[in-house]
Amino acid sequence: MKIDQLFSVAGKRIVVTGGSRGIGEMIARALVDNGAEVIITSRKASDCEALAAALGPACVAIPADLSQMAEIERFAAAVAARFPRLDVLFNNAGASWGAGIDEFPEVGWDKVMDLNVKSVFFLTQKLLPQLEAAASAAAPAKVINIGSIDGQHVSDLETYSYAASKAGVLHLTRMMAKFLGTRHITANAIAPGFFPSKMTAGIAEEFREAFRAATPLQRWGNPDDMAGVALFLASRASAFMTGAVVTVDGGYATTV
């Protein structure tokens, strides 16, 4: 029960989608800093490759647009070629779209749903052979889906497809947990609150300040907050957890 063994990710082979910035970058940095081998992907190749170069040889960039099925298949094949055994899959890639209900466009619905929900299911499906190859009853492989508190409560923002997609991700996680458990694969989710990122930068300053002021801990999330949860869920310490949602929001979703 040594902490350096129980919470270790050293030597684990891990994929982080949407890993070039924001929460994905926070997770990727924490994993590499603690000895994991990590593949990151994002749609923008230059961002993906720049972060991999900064993190060193333990991090490899394989850019892909996971909103497209052909790209999911190409990326999964590239992962399988490099990692025949995959210990952990972080399904983090996501997008948002904001518009009033009267003018919300179909493109804003489909873009968000395809990346935030469809890609989570089908990338997991395509990587099941690699996850099963790494899995055992004592040390299950892990699927960790990044949801949002917007899938748990009603947001003040008119981001209809985003909120619906994140609620879908959280329930999809429970479905995965039920049907992958006998294959020694766990499925859990993280529901972040407000973490500064390129996505949240699009929210008006008045709303960002209102979120911070209404949060019981009176601040936004930072990289350490996400790193701690990600390392716990990726390590042996969470081996008997599946179907769980870990909310990391300073108390916002349950008090506002």
Question: In this structure, are residues 129 and 181 in contact, taking their beta carbons and an 8 Å threshold?
Answer: no
Of 222, 213, 225, the closest CA to residue 255 belongs to 213
Concerning whether 160 is annotated as a catalytic residue, the answer is no
Of the residues 83, 162, 195, 252, only one is catalytic, namely: 162
DSSP string across the chain: --HHHHT--TT-EEEEETTTSHHHHHHHHHHHHTT-EEEEE-S-HHHHHHHHHHH-TTEEE----TTSHHHHHHHHHHHHHH-SS--EEEE---------TTT--HHHHHHHHIIIIIHHHHHHHHTHHHHHHH--SSS-EEEEEE--GGGTS--SS--HHHHHHHHHHHHHHHHHHHHHGGGTEEEEEEEE----STTGGGS-HHHHHHHHHHSTT-S---HHHHHHHHHHHHSGGGTT--S-EEEESTTHHHH-
d(CA 235, CA 5): 9
Q: Is the dihedral of CA 197, 199, 200, 203 positive or negative?
A: positive
Helices 45-55 and 22-33: crossing angle in degrees, nearest 10, is: 20
Write out the catalytic residue numbers: 162
